[in-house]
Chains A and B, each alone.
Chain A
Amino acid sequence: IAGITQAPTSQILAAGRRMTLRCTQDMRHNAMYWYRQDLGLGLRLIHYSNTAGTTGKGEVPDGYSVSRANTDDFPLTLASAVPSQTSVYFCASSDSDTMEQFFGPGTRLTVL
């Protein structure tokens, strides 16, 4: 692995289903982030984690949950997907909260 990986690349999901988006980084970065990107809007922070074992809510956390059991992995779970969660989801990491963020390739999620 080099950098940040996300899985799946894309997914079509029925409303009401549970879905986990995976994110793994191998840079040993302390901080990790989940964003959603919608047309015409800036990246919006869903949840973040400043270090393993801690998580925090971002701008649009409702309907999403995260966990940070170790440094490398930061999965994002949609407990019961709704069509408004159709978006492109980016995972990112940084060495600290003052440094630039490195982004994964994104997951394109469609909820029908």
Chain B
Amino acid sequence: GQNIDQPTEMTATEGAIVQINCTYQTSGFNGLFWYQQHAGEAPTFLSYNVLDGLEEKGRFSSFLSRSKGYSYLLLKELQMKDSASYLCAVKNGNYQLIWGAGTKLIIKP
């Protein structure tokens, strides 16, 4: 089967750094996406990795290791507005997007 695993919930402090991990097992691989979803809202695109390594975009970075089936999303200088769910999704060999259940990130002052 195909599955995406990520922690259900994480808590971090405003101003700190947090790393959200995602491991995947899919039939083929054509890229990994991270999305942010605030409560009651639609998911919005954060990052895309198709090659191994780190992609940096402002306070957010995303890392991929295809050989390990592993990615992480790194959020720096956390702000209260970063409280949201973070969704990991993988494009499999058929270009279907397989979604993880999401990690709810709680930011405390």
Contact = CB atoms under 8 A, between A and B. Distances in A.
Contact of A104 (B42, B48, B95): B42
Nearest to A44: B99
Nearest to A4: B42
B45 A97 contact: no
Interface string A39-70: 01111110000000000001000000000000
Contacts, number: 40
Contacts of B43: 43, 90, 103
Given A40-B101, A45-B96, A100 B42 contact: no
Nearest to B42: A103
A66 to B, nearest CB: 16
A97 B95 contact: yes
A41 B99 CA distance: 9
A43 to B, nearest CB: 4
Interface in A52-107: 58, 90, 97-98, 100-106
Given A97-B91, A98-B91, A105 B97 contact: no
Nearest to A106: B42
Contact of A45 (B41, B97, B101): B97
A45 B74 CA distance: 27
Contacts of A105: 41-42
B73 interface: no
A43 B87 contact: yes
A110 to B, nearest CB: 15
A43 B89 CA distance: 9
B91 A42 contact: no
Interface in A27-49: 40-45
The 10 closest A-B pairs by CB, nearest first: A42-B99, A103-B42, A97-B95, A100-B45, A43-B99, A42-B101, A103-B43, A42-B100, A105-B42, A106-B42
